[in-house]
Each structure stands twice: as structure tokens, then as C-alpha cells.
Structure 1
Amino acid sequence: MSANPAVQNVLSVRARLGEGPLWNAERQVLHWVDIYNRRVHTFDPATATDAFIELDTLVSGLFLGDRDHLIVAQENGLGQLNLTTEQVTPLVPIEADRPDNRLNDVRCDGYGRLWIGTMNNDEKPLANLYRYDRDGTLRQVETGLSISNGLGWSPDQSRFYLTDTPRKMIYAYRFEAESGAICDRRPFIDLTHELFYPDGLTVDAEGCLWSAMWNGGCVIRFDPQGREMQRIALPVPLVTACTFGGPHLTDLYITTASAGMSQAELKQYYQAGDLFCLRTDIQGLPSDRCGQLPTSMRVDSSPTR
């Protein structure tokens, strides 16, 4: 497996399941998680150093809270992580009554609403997508998923994207920015003909999608019509997620995994689980900040979406 020479290994860390890269423009650092090692990492590109906070449960994703906090997606709910004290305050339980499900990919939209996808451990169609609104309402907005993954929006906020990894499908929805409603789901990128699986994604300022390919050793850039434009090869097979960062949002950070690989595979792909970066001339979209979350929650039991 030969990598694109422009792809740099910026952190040798051998994460078990690196995921959820999130650029913090205020601090000019990259936050990311190692799900199975229960760690929230902070990588500083200026010094090429990384520090981590170890939690007591799995952690699958991150939101930007206020300056001193990250909102973390744990196995069955959201928590607020104090970056100074390293303590987590529980906030919102989600699917705590479903032991075969856990939280997976998460994202914050431009209105400070949180989008939380879950996954089923047996890849059955029992996972869901939730939206946590600024008024403290938790709404289920999609059902029947296997692994809710790869969330994002078009630059003009007219589309919402969602990946269902086992189905090898990236869906597009019509997105109503003011209300946060999604509707009119359609298959947008169909990868059922490939041997790999779409994982996390990000959207650039030109409206193109960058999708990390699990067991594919690459990130693929698709145009706004869903057509493949470019494959960026990495020297490892399990590519999990990507996001833009750096001073001008032109550095594509890519997380990878080593979980489940044999000793022979780990020897061959000795960079598995490391953090990579591709310097581009393409600008990404800034990470939205959810700020202070409501202190109480109510569940909306109205119909999906």
C-alpha cells in the first residue's frame, strides 16, 4: 500500500480507534479521540506534541463547548469535559436503555444544535440519529440505521449528509436551517461496488465531501453531485475520519485505527493508528461551537424528523 507522498505522518501514536478529529481555531489545536483506549487527545501542530485525558468510558466524538470545555460523546450520553480539571459532568443520557447500541459520530451545526448518531454493535438496523436543540429538547430525527456515521452540511446549509457505514451509503437530505428539520432522503454516494466502507466525512468550502474509507486505505473527495474527484492514499488500511484545520483551514487531518489487526498486519502497516495530515490549497469549513448547553432535557416523542 503506497501513500500519497503529500500525506505526512504528524503523530506516531498507534491509536486503537482514532476518530472524531475536531479543529479548535481559538487554540489552534486538534482535538481527537481514541475510542477503545477511552482517551481525548489534543494535538498541537506548532510543537508537534500531543496530550491526552483518559476517561472512564468509551468516547466516540467531540463538540466545542466554551473555551475551557469540550462536550464529549460517551457510550450512552453526552458529558462536559473540563480541560483543566479533566473531570466529566454528565449532561444528556441517550439510549442508556439500549445495551447493544452506543453513541458514534457527532457534530454541531451552525445554530448550536447537536447531532448525535448511534450505532448497533451487531450492525443491525437499530441505530438512530438525534438532534439536541438549544431549548434542551432531544429529538429522534432518523431511525433504522446500522452505524450512523459521517455527518455534515453543504456550505449553503441546504443539504445534510449522513453515512450508514455497513450499507456503504452516504445519504443526502434537504436541510431546513432555521428549524433544523431534515427530509427527502436520497442515496447520494453509493459505494456498494467497493470492498471498503465509508466512515467519517468532512465538507470543504467548495461543497465537496471528503470521506475516510475503512479498510480502503484512502480518503476520497467527491464533488457536490457525488462524483469521485480524487483518492488520497494512506499507508494504512483503516482510515476513520478527517477534518480541516490549520491557520487557514487548508490542512486535512486524518485519523486511523489499528484495532482488530493481526500481529503480521501491524508489522506491515506499522503506522496504523497514527495521525496524518495532507496540506492542500482547498479551504475547509470552520468547526461550529455549541457553547453552554441547556441544563435540563425533555424528549420530543413526536414523529421522526
Structure 2
Amino acid sequence: MSDAARVAVASGCELGEGPQWYAALGRLVWCDILGKRLHWLEAASGETGVIALDHMASLAAPLDDGGMLVVGEDRLCWLDLATGEIARLMGFEADNAVTRSNDARVDRHGSLWLSSMGKGAEDGAGSLYRLHRGELSRLRSGLTIPNAICFSPRGEHAHFADTARGIVYRWALDAEGWPVGEPEPWVDFAGREGNPDGAVIDAEGAMWLALWGAGKVVRLDREGREIDAVTLPATQPSCPAFGGEGLTSLYITTAREGMSAEQRDRESGAGDLFVADLSVPGLAEPTLRLG
């Protein structure tokens, strides 16, 4: 079993989410959705920073031509990370006041898969989308808390989960990265400790999956069997991402959303960014292409 994770940044997020490795800058970038903040960590120096936003956001993905695309609650925006300048690109369920953005990840083709969910986790209010070369397409609706978006090393499969239902799905993709047929249940966590949240794939094709409520990130082989785990002193891990030199650092966002005052006192690190050193590296994720 892998070692326990340690605090990388005492960020104190209400709902940490969407960690992304910005290789060109050597930075890990993540969001506090409810705190409306974008955090960053320079891995080599340990320098940190925060950019305040005027709306909730769940991910900031590096673009192939520089800058980042911020996935906001009702919009997609371009961000200059150096200056904090932000500009709206398009709406995202802008006509639906019930929902906000949630999970997202760039696929092997440089396109962005992203999801929405009800702000109160309303049943079936969420959807799954693909932003391909600047055009947004809805892939699936009727989801409650879409999470765990990640892709097999060669891009022949996508994974996603519905956290509320406890199921991780696998979906076949064509040569252009579009879904084929219906997604199939891959692992069912119903009746097990924790609910599937964010996920990422390593260089051996195994999935590292955050289990919200269980205080750990589990490693699942290609058949969905648990073969390793990283434990945290925070029960609500939300999403992992590989970063650092050689992509052998597993960064993990956490949350304190929904905790009682007693729980917050007991879990002083809830909402912080954690990191664990792994022997198996992650896969370099493509930058996002808009055109």
C-alpha cells in the first residue's frame, strides 16, 4: 500500500476541486468551488497564490496556446494566470439557475469533457458534455452528481461516475473520441465505504479514484479491482491529479462542505491540498484545444 498523503498547501477550501497540472509553468492549479477562488502551487519553489473569482468555478484547464479555460457555474472563460485577467467565452447552462459546473478533464484528443449538477444535488439535474474545438455538445443527461471523468491511455474508453448512485461507468469511444453506444457500469460502490468522486489514470492504465467520505484515494486495475490506496487525514477527498517532476506526485483536493463544527475541529486539514509520492507515474494530459 502507498504511504499516507501529507499536506501540500493549507488552502482551507470549502469545496476543493479540479486539480490540474500546468506543465509549462510547473504549477498545480485547483478551485474552491464554493469559495469562488482559484489556487495555485509552484511545485519547485513552494510558492502559492490565489485568484478571486466573481462566480463559482470547478476547473481551470491549460490551453494549447497559453492561458487557461475556467469552467464556471454558468460560463466558460479565458484566464491569464499571470495577471488574473478573465474574459467570457460562452455560456454553460446559463439559462438553468438550478445547476453549476462540477467535474471536468481534457481527453486524449485535447477536447474537454465537463459536467453539471444541481446546486443542491437535485436528482437527475446533471449532464455530461464535450467541448470539441470550441463547440459544446451534450453527451448525457439525467445524472445527479457526474464525477470521475478520465480516459484510458490510448483513448479507447472514457470513465465517469454518478457519485449519488455510487457507480463508475466505462464508455467506449471512437477514433475521434466520441462515445459509442451506451456506457456500461464498471464498478459499483453501493454498500461500500465512500462514494466515487474525482479520478485520474496513471501510466499503467490504472485509475486513482477519490472516495468521498472514506478518506482515501484507491487505485483500481483495468478490471476495477482495488490494488492500492492513499489514505488522508481528511474524510472528503474530491479529486486527484498527477504533477511534479516525472508526474510521480499525486495531488488531492479535499473539502469541508457539509461538516459540523465538531467535524471541522476534528479534521483540521479538511479543505487542504494533499500530496503523496508514488512509484508509478501519471500520464501527461493534453492541453485543451479550442480551434
Q: Structure 2: which amino acid aligns with 1:146?
A: T
1:153 Cα deviation from its structure 2 partner = 0.6
Q: 1:180 aligns with which of 178, 181, 189?
A: 178
Identity of paired residues, percent?
A: 35
- State the secondary structure of the residue aligned to 2:253: strand
- CA distance change for structure 1 residues 171 and 238 in 2, over 3 Å: closer, same or farther? same
Please give the TM-score of this superposition, normalised by the length of structure 1: 0.91
Structure 1: distance between partners of 2:57 and 2:34: 8
Structure 2: distance between partners of 1:185 and 1:250: 30
Structure 1: distance between partners of 2:74 and 2:129: 12
5+ residue gaps in structure 2?
A: none
Residue of structure 1 in register with 2:58 after alignment: 60
Deviations 1:183-203 (A, max 9, x none): 331100100012421110001
- Which 4+ residue blocks in structure 1 deviate beyond 3 angstroms? none
- CA distance change for structure 1 residues 206 and 243 in 2, over 3 Å: closer, same or farther? same
Deviations 1:211-262 (A, max 9, x none): 1111111101100011111232110111100011111011111111112222
Deviations 1:68-126 (A, max 9, x none): 41100111121111123312111121211111111111111222212111112333112
> How well do the aligned residues superpose, as a CA RMSD in angstroms?
1.7
- State the secondary structure of the residue aligned to 1:183: coil
Contact 1:62 1:106 in 2 (8 A): no
Please give the TM-score of this superposition, normalised by the length of structure 2: 0.95
Residue of structure 1 in register with 2:129 after alignment: 130
Structure 2: distance between partners of 1:118 and 1:211: 19
Structure 1: distance between partners of 2:23 and 2:11: 23
Residue of structure 2 in register with 1:14 after alignment: 12
Q: Structure 1: which amino acid aligns with 2:130?
A: R
Structure 1: distance between partners of 2:23 and 2:138: 30
- State the secondary structure of the residue aligned to 1:142: strand
- State the secondary structure of the residue aligned to 1:248: helix
Contact 2:155 2:177 in 1 (8 A): no
- State the secondary structure of the residue aligned to 2:263: helix
Contact 1:6 1:279 in 2 (8 A): no
Residue of structure 2 in register with 1:231 after alignment: 229
Residue of structure 2 in register with 1:200 after alignment: 198
Structure 2: distance between partners of 1:69 and 1:18: 21
Q: Structure 1: which amino acid aligns with 2:225?
A: R
Structure 1: distance between partners of 2:172 and 2:13: 36
- State the secondary structure of the residue aligned to 1:176: coil
Structure 1: distance between partners of 2:177 and 2:65: 27
Structure 1: distance between partners of 2:219 and 2:227: 6
Structure 2: distance between partners of 1:162 and 1:5: 26
1:286 Cα deviation from its structure 2 partner = 0.9
1:159 Cα deviation from its structure 2 partner = 0.8
1:143 Cα deviation from its structure 2 partner = 1.4
